[in-house]
């Protein structure tokens, strides 16, 4: 397509939100060497915009700006900072339609899901605009009559945040909002596939009055930008959401300067349906848990374990429900599943299905690329899957549901925990005592009982094992951006006895 047409398909109510430059020290900036990077609509392949392809020097400038901004920002009262965050939240909601449209255009998810993401993503800003006022310290009962012992919490410093493409807004707000509320400044590197939503959100932050240098956005060469963050002594905290592979690289690199680090990495979520489940509720849960965002979330159901007594009934009802899903362009009304993000994702999904079928799985529905072409893939259900298949071990990150049969509770728990990941797990049973014991036995950071839509700004999101470190959201999430400082007051004289 011609260069002049680039951006023509991005029609927003407020075109001021269509930002195509990085944000460094409050100024919209190109890459130092003027290189650019095309942002595509995964549903059509159209180029939506060209954004700067930034590198080491640009990232270092952003870090320097965040560093200068840190002292004045962290020394403001929490009430001051939180007022600005609240304003940012209001602007996010006022511009909900435009943000949702940008999400759908660059990510491909259906508009209803994108609208949901704006509410969810905005929720973190609203939540931390309040929570920032509740960063309490402690006074510890002292074992010594002449000493008093206190703990205060202080902002950790400059934060480097690296985010993925599957939630172009929510992955950003859930890092930026607690960081800013805590008094940190931040350099954000959104995914190169979906930077437009991040830039629009940053423009709204500028409009809300977040001072220059407090929030900086750079994108381009992920390796160079990542290295600039990791090598910097100024950056005291890294927060990352993405693949386990990159997370491990960052964790190793963080050792050079001993940074605080939080990681939200891959998952391999089991959904266990017991004989005593309500089948209708379980089918709905499996549908939302598997096919939202075309299966491209780290908490998406990856394996469906179904107990023998309910297996046939469940697989029939589930297959029928999957047949009703509508694949198409996210902006078209009624569409429930958009395209995959790119060709590499499509190939991975194909490889997982081929591998499963070659090892004995049967396709109940789907199993192929969609007739719409591009990166569209049919919503797929496979039955007769087992632990020798790739799909049992690895995240498929696509619209493929493998059904596996089990007999006993013990077998289900073993299968569910037989993975190096530990992000989210789900179980369906109508018996609360049964559900409670299952929830206790699952080696995961999050468990949904009779529910697969569990994410919320008020709850701690995060995993065990190789799914990551730390938690995001909730009152726990702000701790990731705070250091504890212990203060000992000495030589306190005898207490007044009057
Ligand atoms: P995904 O496979 O979901 O794209 P990645 O882990 O590759 O997951 O990407 C998540 C984020 O990490 C993106 O913003 C990407 O640009 C960034 N990223 C990828 N490689 C590196 C790296 N070596 N250093 C820092 N960031 C990286």
- Tens-place pLDDT, residues 113-128: 999 999 999 999 999 9
How much distance in Å is there from the Cα of 192 to the middle of ligand 1? 9
Q: Is the CB of 243 under 6 A from ligand 1?
A: yes
Is 346 in contact with 365 (CB distance < 8 Å)? no
Task: Report whether residue 219 contacts ligand 1, using a CB cutoff of 6 Å.
Answer: no
Closest CA to 277 of 307, 243, 256, 253: 307
Q: What's the pLDDT tens digit per position in 400-414?
A: 999 999 999 999 999
| Rounded CA separation 492/361 (Å) | 74
Q: Measured from the CB, is residue 90 less than 6 Å from ligand 1?
A: no
Please work out whether the CB of residue 163 comes within 6 Å of at least one atom of ligand 1: yes
Residue 430 near residue 278 (C-beta atoms within 8 A): yes
CATH 3.40.309.10 domain range(s) in the chain: 269-449
Q: Are 52 and 197 in contact (CB under 8 A)?
A: no
Which residue's CA lies nearest to atom 4 of ligand 1? 164
358, 344 Cβ separation under 8 angstroms = no
pLDDT of residue 8: 72
Ligand 1 atom 22: residue of nearest CA: 223
Q: Tell me, in angstroms, the distance from the centre of ligand 1 to residue 120's CA.
A: 23
Quote the pLDDT of residue 5.
Answer: 63
CA atoms within 13 A on the CB side of 463: 25
Q: Count the Cβ atoms, other than its own, within 10 Å of residue 462.
A: 24
| C-alpha 3 – ligand 1 centre gap (Å) | 27
**C-beta separation of 445 from 466 below 8 A:** no
For 15-265+467-484, CATH number?
A: 3.40.605.10
Residue 163 CA, closest ligand 1 atom number: 14
Residue 192 alpha carbon, nearest atom of ligand 1: 16
State the Cα–Cα distance between residues 43 and 47, nearest whole angstrom.
11
Length of the chain: 498
Q: Which residue among 60, 113, 264, 395 is the active-site one?
A: 264
Is 264 marked active-site? Answer: yes
Topology, domain 269-449: Aldehyde Dehydrogenase; Chain A, domain 2 (3.40.309)
Residues with pLDDT less than 50, the chain? 1-4
Question: Where along the chain do the CATH 3.40.605.10 domains lie?
Answer: 15-265+467-484
Chain centroid offset of residue 366 CA: 28
- Closest residue CA from atom 14 of ligand 1: 191
CA of 223 to the centre of ligand 1 (A): 8
Ligand 1 center to residue 392 CA distance, Å? Answer: 24
Residues 6+ positions from 311 with CB-CB distance below 8 Å:
403, 405
Q: Is 192 in the pocket of ligand 1 (CB under 6 A)?
A: yes
Q: Which atom of ligand 1 is nearest to the CA of 245?
A: 6
Residues whose CB is less than 8 angstroms from the CB of residue 82 and which lie 6 or more positions away in sequence, other chains included: 128, 129, 130, 132, 133, 181
Task: Please tell me the residue having the least CA distance from ligand 1 atom 27.
Answer: 222
Q: How far lies 258's CA from each of 188, 233, 243, 254, 329, in Å?
A: 20, 9, 21, 6, 45
- Measured in angstroms, how far is the CA atom of residue 341 from the centroid of ligand 1? 14
435 φ, ψ to 5°?
-60, -40
Please state, in angstroms and rounded to a whole number, the distance separating the CA atoms of residues 134 and 475.
9
Dist. CA 317–CA 401, nearest whole Å:
14
Question: 10 Å Cβ neighbour count for 80?
Answer: 11
């Amino acid at each position: 397509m011609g260069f002049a047409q680039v951006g023509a398909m991005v029609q927003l109510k407020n075109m001021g939100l269509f930002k195509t430059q990085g944000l460094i020290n409050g100024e919209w900036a190109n890459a130092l060497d003027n290189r650019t990077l095309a942002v595509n609509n995964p549903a059509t392949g159209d180029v939506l915009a060209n954004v700067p392809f930034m590198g080491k020097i640009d990232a270092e400038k952003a870090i320097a700006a965040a560093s200068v901004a840190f002292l004045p920002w962290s020394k403001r009262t929490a009430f001051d900072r939180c007022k600005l965050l609240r304003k940012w939240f209001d602007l996010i909601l006022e511009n909900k339609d435009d943000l949702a449209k940008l999400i759908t255009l660059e990510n491909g998810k259906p508009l209803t899901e994108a609208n949901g993401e704006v509410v969810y993503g905005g929720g973190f800003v609203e939540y931390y605009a309040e929570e920032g006022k509740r960063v309490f310290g402690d006074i510890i009962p002292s074992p010594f009559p002449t000493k008093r012992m206190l703990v205060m919490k202080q902002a950790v410093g400059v934060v480097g945040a690296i985010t993925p493409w599957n939630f172009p807004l929510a992955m950003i707000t859930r890092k930026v909002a607690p960081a800013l509320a805590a008094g940190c400044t931040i350099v954000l590197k959104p995914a190169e596939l979906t930077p437009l939503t991040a830039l629009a959100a940053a423009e709204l932050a500028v409009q809300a009055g977040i001072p220059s240098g407090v929030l900086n956005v750079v994108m381009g060469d992920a390796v160079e930008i990542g290295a600039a963050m990791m090598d910097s002594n100024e950056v005291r905290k890294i927060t990352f959401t993405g693949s386990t592979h990159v997370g491990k690289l960052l964790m190793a690199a963080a050792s050079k300067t001993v940074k605080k680090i939080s990681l939200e990495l891959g998952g391999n979520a089991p959904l266990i349906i017991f004989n005593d489940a309500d089948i209708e509720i379980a089918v709905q849960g499996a549908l939302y848990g598997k096919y939202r965002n075309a299966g491209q979330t780290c908490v998406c159901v990856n394996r469906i374990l179904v107990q023998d007594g309910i297996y046939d009934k469940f697989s029939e009802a589930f297959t029928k429900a999957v047949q009703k899903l509508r694949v198409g362009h996210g902006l078209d009304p009624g569409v429930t599943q958009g395209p995959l993000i790119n060709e590499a994702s499509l190939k991975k999904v194909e490889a997982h299905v081929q591998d499963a079928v070659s090892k004995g799985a049967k396709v109940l529905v789907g199993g192929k690329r969609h007739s719409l072409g591009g990166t569209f893939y049919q919503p797929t259900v496979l039955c007769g899957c087992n632990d020798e298949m790739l799909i049992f071990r690895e995240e498929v990150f696509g619209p493929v549901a493998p059904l596996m049969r089990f007999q006993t509770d013990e077998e289900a728990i073993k299968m569910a925990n037989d993975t190096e990941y530990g992000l989210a797990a789900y179980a369906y049973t109508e018996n609360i005592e049964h559900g409670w014991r299952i929830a206790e036995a699952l080696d995961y950071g999050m468990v949904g009982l009779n529910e697969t839509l569990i994410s919320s700004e008020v709850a701690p999101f995060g995993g065990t094992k190789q799914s990551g470190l730390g938690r995001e959201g909730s009152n726990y999430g702000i701790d990731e951006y705070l250091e504890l400082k212990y203060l000992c007051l000495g030589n306190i004289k005898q207490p007044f006895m009057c």
